Homo-oligomer: A and B are copies of this chain.
C-alpha cells in the first residue's frame, strides 16, 4: 500500500460517504412527504401502504415470511401491521392447505379497492417529488443505483 493508493482509496470512500448522505436526505424528504400525505388523504401509513402494495402484486396471497423478506423487515413487525390491517377489513389470513404452521395473507376486495385509490395518488406524489429529474436522468439514476449494491440483495422483483 503506497501513499498514493491510500489517497485514492480515501477519496473514493469520502465520495461514497457523500453519496450515502445525499441518498439518505432524498429518502427522508420523500418519505416524510409521502407519510404526511398518506396520513392526511387516506388515514394510513407508509408501512401499511408497503404491505398492501406487496399483496396487491400477489393477488393469490403471500406467507408472512415472504412478506417479511420482500419488505426487508422483521417477522414480528409484519405480524403487527397485518393484524391492524386485518382488523380494518383490508386483508385476511388463510390457512395453507399442506402446512398448518404457515398462513397466507391476501387483500380483501375492499383492500384492493382502497389500495388502488392510494396507489394512484402515490405515483403522482412520487413523480411530483422527484420532478427535478428529467426522464433521462431518472433512467440513468435508476440504472446506476441498480449496480450500487455490493451485497447479494439484488433480487429480480422489479421488472
Q: A137-B144, A145-B141, A150-B132 are in contact. Are A124 and B23 (CB under 8 A)?
A: no
Max chain B Cβ within 10 angstroms of own Cβ: one of A11, A20, A138? A20
Interchain CB contact under 8 A, A17 and B141? no
Determine the chain B residues whose CB is within 8 A of the CB of A23 once the complex forms: 23, 26-27, 30, 145
A79 on the B face (CB < 8 A): no
List CB contacts (< 8 Å) of A90-105 with chain B.
none
* Interface membership of chain A positions 72-99, coded 1 if the CB is closer than 8 angstroms to chain B and 0 otherwise: 1000000000000000000000000000
Q: Would you call A41 an interface residue if the criterion is a C-beta within 8 Å of the partner chain's C-beta atoms?
A: no
A153 at the interface (CB under 8 A from B): yes
Query: Nearest chain B CB to A103's CB is how many angstroms away?
Result: 24
A33 at the interface (CB under 8 A from B): yes
Residues of B within 8 A of A128 (CB): 150
| B142 in contact with A18 (CB, 8 Å) | yes
A24-B27, A72-B32, A144-B137 known; A13-B127 Cβ under 8 A: yes
